[in-house]
A and B are shown apart, each in its own frame.
Chain A
């Protein structure tokens, strides 16, 4: 579970300040003052000094503006206003969906076992006796580990009678389910694009907020503010867990930011349910052993890169985002479409879907709401919901929701399970299913709890779940 933390709030504050500057048409001039405004003199520093704090913010801003860091040029030779101008001219070159802001990366110690001064140097010395590599020796009556010989098996920690041995992880590496993030020779982290499934776990785990996602605030703001462009927001159903308001109020409040229209992605989920249940019936009739869902892009990315044996069993039905976007484009081909959701992997999926122009996070949406002075309950009056959308479509936001929708469509003649999270246990279980399936219909969501627990959410999970359930029963 994710808890609020200051690194997360820093990212949100940066987004809010940048959208405010965009709205005031003052980004190029104003952006240079943001680091000092956020870290004024006389406040307690986060890092060694106020200068480094500001310096890190500067680099994070460059990343949000859409430039890959680290870059080939020395970014200190380039003023922030230059980056702002370039990004307003659509000349921001950022391709990476996730990148490590090296100035912020703490270059955490290589993960290791470490003997604390709680060690009493006892006579038993089980750490030394049981170490399979002979990596532990005693000096001055205290144990010490030779990091060169240690293979990090953890046995010493288990056997120490004083719990004197701790394990210090590298948080991002430990959170990554596919070992896509690792240290470069300088100790800083690097993300391997060929392995990354964009689940966003590293981004949430980093205590320095050093892992930044690609932002679309500039592009979306441009569409909202220019009179000759039309833009429709398609909003993931997980939004109903984000605010304490009714679905109709939330959608109306989003529209008030300046979108030409707001459509529920749950409407696309109705299409997904229809197609997916037809595909399931077809595959079962052909005698296939099982089928898994395909609406979670982190899961399909995982299959693509790490579990190819599951490929034949992933449904070919498209995700709710795709169907919702197609509906918008079918009605008006000139309409730009921005998907707004809690998901990082959707940014990757969106790149390959021509109907989706931009993908934005709930955090970015929150920044827009604040900059435009939107209060959900007050501004969300007088809206009506599309009667085509059912609670099953909106239920896609929670683990088990897709399964519910499919069971509602085809009845309970097939065995079903839902899997949430791609931790080691679930990954192994899924891979084994290629040979020995445990159910005929398998729903997979990469986030524990489903999309309401997505890495770019605003509300903490317990609150999001409660609000989501309330919205589904209204």
Chain B
């Protein structure tokens, strides 16, 4: 079973615009799923310097904008399923 690389942007912009919540969202996954996700926190992915759509995350290198707890969970579930 493959692992998922999740990078959550912790730059001030992303953090303030909802990124703070994402950490808790990942931790709410069932254990067997949570264990297959490598979470890391990036200082600032540099996406939102000029406007942009924070908060950003990267899932297996793919950058995703305007992430909420619920759509992050959905994206992770899809990726976990694909990596089986």
Contact = CB atoms under 8 A, between A and B. Distances in A.
Instruction: Report whether chain A binds chain B.
Output: yes
A363 B17 CA distance: 10
A463 B23 contact: yes
Contacts of B20: 4, 458-460, 463
Contact of A366 (B12, B68, B69): B12
B35 interface: no
Contacts of A375: 11-12, 43-44
Contacts of A374: 12
B21 A460 contact: yes
Interface string B3-35: 000000011110111101101100000000000
B70 to A, nearest CB: 11
B7 to A, nearest CB: 15
Contacts of A378: 43
B16 A244 contact: no
Interface residues of B, number: 18
B16 A458 contact: yes
Interface residues of A, number: 24
Contact of A369 (B10, B12, B18): B12
A246 to B, nearest CB: 15
A12 B55 CA distance: 13
Interface in A340-366: 363, 366
A158 interface: no
B43 A377 contact: yes
Nearest to A38: B51
A37 B51 CA distance: 10
A363 B15 CA distance: 11
B14 to A, nearest CB: 10
A370 interface: yes
Given A4-B69, A375-B43, A377-B43, A370 B18 contact: no
Find the residue from A16, A363, A370, A458 having the highest chain B CB count within 10 A.
Answer: A370
Given A4-B69, A244-B10, A366 B16 contact: yes
A3 B20 CA distance: 11
B24 A12 contact: no
A21 to B, nearest CB: 13
B18 to A, nearest CB: 5
Given A366-B12, A460-B20, A463-B24, 15 more contacts: A4-B20, A4-B68, A4-B69, A9-B18, A244-B10, A244-B41, A366-B16, A369-B16, A370-B12, A370-B13, A374-B12, A376-B12, A377-B43, A458-B15, A459-B20
Interface of A: 3-4, 9, 12-13, 16, 37, 243-244, 363, 366-367, 369-370, 374-378, 458-460, 462-463
24 contacts: A3-B21, A4-B18, A4-B20, A4-B21, A4-B69, A12-B16, A12-B17, A16-B13, A16-B16, A37-B51, A244-B10, A363-B16, A366-B16, A367-B16, A370-B12, A375-B11, A376-B12, A377-B43, A458-B15, A458-B16, A459-B20, A460-B20, A463-B21, A463-B23
Interface of B: 10-13, 15-18, 20-21, 23-24, 41, 43-44, 51, 68-69
